[in-house]
Amino acid sequence: MSQYSIIIPTFNEKKNVPILINKINRFIKNKDYEIIVVDDNSNDGSASVFHDIKKKFKKFSFYIRKEKKRDLSKSVIFGAKKSKFNNLIVMDGDLQHNPKYLPILIKKFNTEKQDVLVAVRNFEKRSGLSFFRFFMSLLLIRLINLIFEKKTSDPMSGFFVVKKKIFFSNKKKLYANGFKILFDLVYSNGNIVVTDHLIKFDLRRNNKSKMNLRVIYHIIRSIIKKIAFRLT
């Protein structure tokens, strides 16, 4: 039986994480898995909530990254290092990634040949995204597909499954900063096999989108690094 480590990077998701953990446990309770939350030193009291969850769920663990700068990519890498299983699932903690899709993604990952399976959005609709996030996501995706060979319809997705060995075999090629680790990973190696699975993203709850100019800056830097790596 395949085993999965679910990595959830968080920042100020105190109200969302308990709901998310309960849903994950409900939808994949018969699977062999662990849940790892890596928090970017939230200031909303998340740590106390995580302690309470840990008392209830043996499969749950959490870590606090006490760094000056928030960084989703570094949080995901940190969680991957702490993981004990050979397959990784990365998903956000804001409830936009519905755990009801986990059984479907796991089944597809177990039965089809791929290194990365991406839960992709339907960009014909805004699907709960703010206009700014929707517009910037579309713009960046088109830029990426213009520069690189298209591997996925949604390289900005934060919901994906990846073989742990693929993740770490390409670690030295990663930009490893910012908030879009999937793009960083998928375009670090031309031989990575990627497949898509269309899902509907839910509305964000109890928090605001983290898409801002700093996020965009790191995406652009990551693109530049990928181009430079190809030229060397």
Confidence of residue 170 (pLDDT cuts 50, 70, 90): confident
The closest alpha carbon to 106, from 120, 88, 79, belongs to: 88
Q: What would the mean pLDDT of 126-140 be, rounded to a whole number?
A: 69
User: What pTM value is reported for the model?
Assistant: 0.87
CATH of the domain at 99: 3.90.550.10
Which neighbouring-strand residues pair with 95? none
Q: Cα separation of 186 and 152, whole Å?
A: 9
pLDDT greater than 90 at residue 1: no
Amino acid 18: pLDDT: 97
Confidence of residue 144 (pLDDT cuts 50, 70, 90): confident
Res. 203 pLDDT band, cuts 50 70 90: confident
Question: Looking at the predicted structure, is the pLDDT value of residue 128 above 60?
Answer: no
Question: Per-residue pLDDT for 3 more than 80?
Answer: yes
**Tell me: the pLDDT tens digits for 6-39?**
999 999 999 999 999 999 999 998 889 999 999 9
Query: Based on the structure, what is the number of domains in the chain?
Result: 1
Mean pLDDT, range 200-229, rounded to an integer = 72
Rounded to an integer, what distance in angstroms lies between the CA atom of residue 89 and that of residue 128?
22
Strands (E) across the chain are located at: 3-10, 32-39, 60-64, 87-90, 116-120, 160-163, 194-198
Q: Which domain does 115 fall in, by range?
A: 3-231
Mean pLDDT of the chain: 86
- Kindly state the average pLDDT of the residues 66-79: 88
C-alpha 188/C-alpha 211 separation (Å) is 23
